[in-house]
Every structure is written in structure tokens, then in C-alpha cells.
Amino acid sequence: MPELRKDPVIGRWVIISTERGKRPTDFPPEPRGRKSKLCPFCPTNESSTPPEVYSIRQNGSGPDSPGWTLRVIPNKFPALRIEGDLNREGEGIFDKMNGVGAHEVIVETPSHELDLVNLENGEVKNVIIAYRERIIDLKRDPRFKYIMIFKNQGEAAGASLEHSHSQLIATPIVPKRVLEEIAGAKQYYEYKERCIYCDIVKQEISQDIRVITQSDKFLAIAPFASRFPFEAWVLPKEHDSCFEHINDNDAESLSRMLKETLKRLSTALSDPPFNYVIHSAPVENGCEKEYHWHIEIMPKLTKVAGFEWGTGFYINPTAPEDAAGFLKEIKID
Amino acid sequence: MPELRKDPVIGRWVIISTERGKRPTDFPPEPRGRKSKLCPFCPTNESSTPPEVYSIRQNGSGPDSPGWTLRVIPNKFPALRIEGDLNREGEGIFDKMNGVGAHEVIVETPSHELDLVNLENGEVKNVIIAYRERIIDLKRDPRFKYIMIFKNQGEAAGASLEHSHSQLIATPIVPKRVLEEIAGAKQYYEYKERCIYCDIVKQEISQDIRVITQSDKFLAIAPFASRFPFEAWVLPKEHDSCFEHINDNDAESLSRMLKETLKRLSTALSDPPFNYVIHSAPVENGCEKEYHWHIEIMPKLTKVAGFEWGTGFYINPTAPEDAAGFLKEIKID
């Protein structure tokens, strides 16, 4: 019998369609191959991107020249523009405003050949630090209400360039999905006077059927109401609403946990396309007690179809308990 | 400057990224080819599906044998099961219930070679009638709170079988997305004492910049806050909350409008994969005055990526005014 499960925060229902019960080998790998045309993210091509806004450089090299190990640049084709005011206005019954915001690219490594999962721990830590520093910087601009970090890897997951990178978008409004998450967390807090994510962390550790891996500071789970097969979340065990509060030690610990989780996914599923998104509190927080930042990793193994578009309710052919079981058993170095 | 637009009903914001401004030819067609393995939806293979629950037959042939022009069957691999009770229960802080529901397939034509857009008007009308009849029948089962009709065409849009078909899923809860739409429509009604969709129909006809085509009874538009390039909605001009109230004459008129809209999309975009979803009121209605049924057609031309997953806010590279302009000018027979 398929099971309906409700996401405890957002109230979204998911169908765990156990009869279709899919194992890792039921998802054939997407064809991938490195193409060889000029890559704007490779060293020596720095001039083909807008000037860098942040970089980590080992040898005192100048900006927008080779010698970096990580580089953050404005997106050349931004979804939102940094200049200008919002100018909210109506058009009859419709509402609109200017697309003001920031859209940056975090180039995670100078190597065109390596994915995030192949980097050294220290390099992944630098990626985490770069996320933190860019958020802290952009929070100073009062026009931005939300700052989202995400990564698309693989063409099927929406990556248009193959050189390993993440993105940051700062938006002039708090997106609806984020507001819903916060509203759900606040509702729980009002009733229980506890953070719902802290309760999830506690229950997952004690039940130990959806845990993928854990360390002192972080927990990786297949969430109870997983929308997608092999969906994985990484949560800090200690309560904090904002990702950018992370200190250097915890960034080190997170980089190990993120890398290990991605490694388990890439080994189990032959390097699948995926997205991850850092869920963190809005700039004008107001939910310090109730919200708890975390990372949601979504391998792209199934197609989102009409039913999901119409209902916002997902059909997932792999029970999260099975997914966690498979991922846990993977042998990694 | 990109523009942020708000869906007036659901409150979802969309980025209309005009600088990426994409024309139909910027979306290369997906490779498609008819495969030749045994198709369970073809005539003479009736025994490879569960017994039919509805059919249109011209010549008095018996059920589950050839001679049909349209056939409705339970899904062989249903996402939800027709038998049993909900048994709502908790697991610590989590909630779940049995996946009770109906999952049916509407095989739109006996021909393996034809898509919905290639059928005769009378055949498309039969598809509309079949949707209506199946909804009316399933509404009698008190366990079902919502009945959704949708179509996935093309592998990239989630179709696993290429023989032209639609699907119906009856769910034991009203999905969140539907509740949100109704809540938005009710909020507008409370303030204005008018149906928001009726106001959209009126404004779109008078502005005439997003109209794709219209008839006496129906209007096809590129909606103001289109999430996807070339997204198209078909709305009845007269107010009605429920699709299944449609009479035979209006079904004829709708079939012409739906077919014409799909034909414009398939001609402009080289037969793209797409989804459509009929948005209609829940079984226990309660929103007769405020809600207005309609069909949302979403060509699958871009990939949904991390930003959309995290925010629920879409980046659309084609302004709906441009999309409507392109689609309107298409020459069709």
C-alpha cells in the first residue's frame, strides 16, 4: 500500500509509492561528458566574466587573473539586476516590480575536471566560507530581503556550464516557499515551544532509520516526507536560524559532512545530476527561535510531471528508509 | 531590466527575465521517436491492462476488446490504491496515512501514431467527455476529496508510455497547491465581491496583449505571471467552479480551443514535451462563487533548478506578451 506522508514544516503531502519501490540501479545514469569549448570559469579566461567580488588566492596574485583557488563573480546573464529601485506598480489587477537583486556565481575550483565531491576537504570548506562571506556582505544592502545559495550540477538539473559552481541570488522579497517554511516552524513553536527542526534531529537520531551519516555537529538524513528518491538533508545538530552564523570550525565540519553525503549519492547513483539549496532565515530575521537552517539535496532521478505541477504533491518511488539504508552501506574512502 | 510579477491568485512571484528573451527557435526540439515494443494501450493488447472502467465504442464491441475509440482503465502501477481506509496515524512528530485513491488512464485514441493535437475535433471532444464522466463517477466515493485530470506528453514531461493518454488521480486530501489557489481566490472575493478569474478574463480581453486565441465561450492566454516560457491557460469566459459541470456543447467548444492552443504550441515549438492540468474545485466545493476552473498548459522547455526548488519562484526567459505574440501569428489549418 502506498503511504501518504506530510512534511511537518510546510504541510506538503508526498506519496511514498512503495510498490514502485526503486533501488539505486533502477535509475540509469544520465550521459555526461566534458565538452571542450572555451570555459569562462577556467583560469586564464578571467576576463570573460564580470570582475570578481571575492576570491581565495594562495600566492598574492591580483584580482581577475589566474592564481585563485575559488572565485566569486556576478552572473554575466543575471536573473536579477543589482542596479535600481523596485518601483512596485500595478497593471490593472496585476502587480509587478523591477527585478532588482544580486546574482553571483561561486566558482568552486580552478579545475574544469573536478566536481565539488572530488575536491579536498579544505577546498570544500573554502566554498562554505565563500557562501558565508558573500551572504554577510550582501545583507548590508537594505533592498535585499532574502539571500539564497544553491547549486545545480548536471544539465538535467539545470546547470548550463559544466565547470563546478554554485550560485547566490539575493531577492527583493522573501519567496513564498520560504515564508511557508517559517510559518510552519512558527506554528509548531507556538504550540510546543520547541524548534521543529531540533525535534526532527532528535527523533531521527533516536529512530535511526533515516540517518545517512552523522558527526558531532551535523546530521544527514533522508527526510520523512522526501519528495524525490534519495533526497537528503544536512542539518546542524545545534539550533541556529542562519547559515551565515557558521564559524570556521563548524564550516570545516560541515564541509566533511556535505562532501561525504554527496560522495554517497554519487557512488550509489553513478554521479547523478542534482540540486542543493541552503535554507536559511530571511535577512530581517524574526524567526531566531523557530527556524533552523539546513541544506536540502535533491538528486534529479525522476521527472516532475503534471500531477506534481497541479497539486504540489510529489510521487516518490523510493521510501526514505530504503534510500538511507542504501546510502549508509556505500563504501567510501 | 528583468521584471518581477506576482500571480494574483496564488501570490507566487515570477522573474520575467527579458534580457534572456527567448524566441521559439531558442528552444531546440527534444529528440522523439516512436519505439516499437508492445504497447499496452494499443488495440488487441487490452488484456495487458486492468479491465476498463469507461469506453467509447462505435460498433457495439464488448469491453476489453478492440473496437473502441477511447478507453479508460485503472493505472496498472497506481500511485494510490482504490481499496482500503485512510488510517491516519502519527510516527513521533510525523504524520502519515494510507495511500488510498484512484489512479486512472484515459487512452485518447486507438492509434499509436497520433497525439491529442492530431485527433479530429470529435475525438478531442470525447476526451473531454470522458474526463467529465470519470470525475462525476468518482465524486460519489466519499473518501476522495480532490480529483485531478492531467496529461504528460513526451518523456521530458514525465510520460512513460508514448501512446497518447491522460491521467486522473483522486486523492483523499485536498492538495496544498489547490488549497492555496482557493484561498487566494477567496481573499480577492472577500475584498472585491467578484471572482478573480472573471476579472482576469475581462482584463485580458480588454488589454489584448496576452491573448493567444478566443471563441464565444473560451479564452486562451499566456498568463501575466507565467512560470514557464510559452505557458498557456484556457479559461471558460462564463463563471463556473467545476470542470465537470461542462455540457456537451461547451465540451465541443472547449475541444476546439484546446486543440487549437496545442496546435499553436506544437507548430511554434516543434512538438515540445508538455504537461497540462485541469484546475477545478474540490469535491466538497465551498467555493462556487470564488473559484473558476481552467486548464494550465506548461511546455517543458527549460529545466527547473535549485533556485526554483528553494524559493518556489520561477525564472522565465520569455515574456508572456512575446509568447502570446508568437503563438497568435502561427498559421494553422
Amino acid at B99: G
Asked whether the beta carbons of A189 and A195 are under 8 A apart, the reply is: yes
- Residue A324, all three cell numbers: 538511507
| Residue B192 CB neighbours (<10 A) | 11
Vertex A195, ends A191 and A197: CA angle to 5°?
125
Choose, out of B30, B174, B176, the residue to mutate when testing the contact with A (most A CBs < 10 Å).
B176
Of A8, A171, A177, the CB nearest to B93: A8
Which of 39-58 (A) contact B at CB < 8 A?
A: none
Catalytic residues of B: 165
Q: In chain B, what residues touch A2 (CB-CB under 8 Å)? A: 78-81, 98-99
Q: In chain A, what residues touch B97 (CB-CB under 8 Å)? A: 3-4
CA-based nearest residue to A231, from A200, A269, A181:
A269
Of A148, A167, A309, the CB nearest to B275: A309
C-alpha pair distances (Å), B150 with each of A196, B275, B294: 35, 7, 12
- Percentage of residues in chain B having pLDDT higher than 90: 70
Determine the distance in angstroms separating the CA of B273 from the nearest CA of chain A, rounded to an integer: 11
Asked whether the beta carbons of A89 and A96 are under 8 A apart, the reply is: yes
| 3-class DSSP assignment, residue A143 | coil
Q: How many CB pairs under 8 A join A and B?
A: 225
ipTM for the predicted complex: 0.89
Of B3, B93, B304, the CB nearest to A304: B304
Determine the distance in angstroms separating the CA of A161 from the nearest CA of chain B, rounded to an integer: 13
CA-based nearest residue to B118, from B262, B240, B234, B14:
B262
Asked whether the beta carbons of A56 and A70 are under 8 A apart, the reply is: yes
CA-based nearest residue to A9, from A142, A121, A177:
A177
Asked whether the beta carbons of B70 and B126 are under 8 A apart, the reply is: yes
Amino acid at A279: H
> pLDDT tens, A108-120?
999 999 999 999 9
| Per-residue pLDDT tens listing for chain A (333 residues) | 777 888 787 777 777 776 656 777 777 776 666 666 789 999 999 999 999 999 999 878 999 999 999 999 999 888 888 888 888 888 898 998 888 899 999 999 999 999 999 999 999 999 999 999 999 999 999 999 999 999 999 988 989 899 999 999 999 989 888 999 999 999 999 999 999 999 999 999 999 999 999 999 999 999 999 999 999 999 999 999 999 999 999 999 999 999 999 999 999 999 999 999 999 999 998 899 999 999 999 999 988 888 888 888 888 888 899 999 999 999 887
Q: Within an 8 Å CB–CB cutoff, is residue B21 touching chain A?
A: no
CA-based nearest residue to B207, from A176, A226, A90:
A90
Asked whether the beta carbons of B8 and B225 are under 8 A apart, the reply is: yes
CA-based nearest residue to B300, from A151, A305, A299:
A305
Determine the distance in angstroms separating the CA of A58 from the nearest CA of chain B, rounded to an integer: 30
- pLDDT of res. B13: 76
Q: Within an 8 Å CB–CB cutoff, is residue B152 touching chain A?
A: yes
Of A150, A225, A306, the CB nearest to B151: A306
- d(CA B63, CA B66) in angstroms, rounded, equals 8
Is the pTM for the entire model greater than 0.95?
A: no
Determine the distance in angstroms separating the CA of B26 from the nearest CA of chain A, rounded to an integer: 14
Q: Cβ contact (<8 Å) for B151 and A304?
A: no
- pLDDT of res. A21: 61
Chain A: residue whose CA lies nearest to B19: A77
Amino acid at A319: A
Which of 276-295 (A) contact B at CB < 8 A?
A: 276-279
> pLDDT tens, B297-327?
999 998 888 888 888 888 888 889 999 999 9
- Compute, in degrees rounded to 10, the torsion defined by CA atoms A82, B231, B327, B240: -130
> pLDDT tens, B104-129?
999 999 999 999 999 999 999 999 99
Quick one: angle between helices B320-329 and B248-268, nearest 10? 100
- Residue B227, all three cell numbers: 512560470
- pLDDT of res. A225: 92
Backbone dihedral angles phi then psi of residue A89, each to the nearest 5 degrees: -155, 165
- Residue A188, all three cell numbers: 509548531
Which residues of chain B fall below pLDDT 70?
18-21, 30-36
Q: In chain B, what residues touch A182 (CB-CB under 8 Å)? A: none
CA-based nearest residue to A99, from B251, B13, B208:
B13
- Residue B28, all three cell numbers: 531546440
Q: Cβ contact (<8 Å) for B200 and A2?
A: no
- Residue A74, all three cell numbers: 556576478
Which entry of A103, A112, A163, A165 is annotated as an active-site residue? A165
Q: Cβ contact (<8 Å) for A311 and B155?
A: no
Q: In chain B, what residues touch A5 (CB-CB under 8 Å)? A: 94-96
CA-based nearest residue to A196, from B95, B12, B312:
B95
Asked whether the beta carbons of B71 and B108 are under 8 A apart, the reply is: no
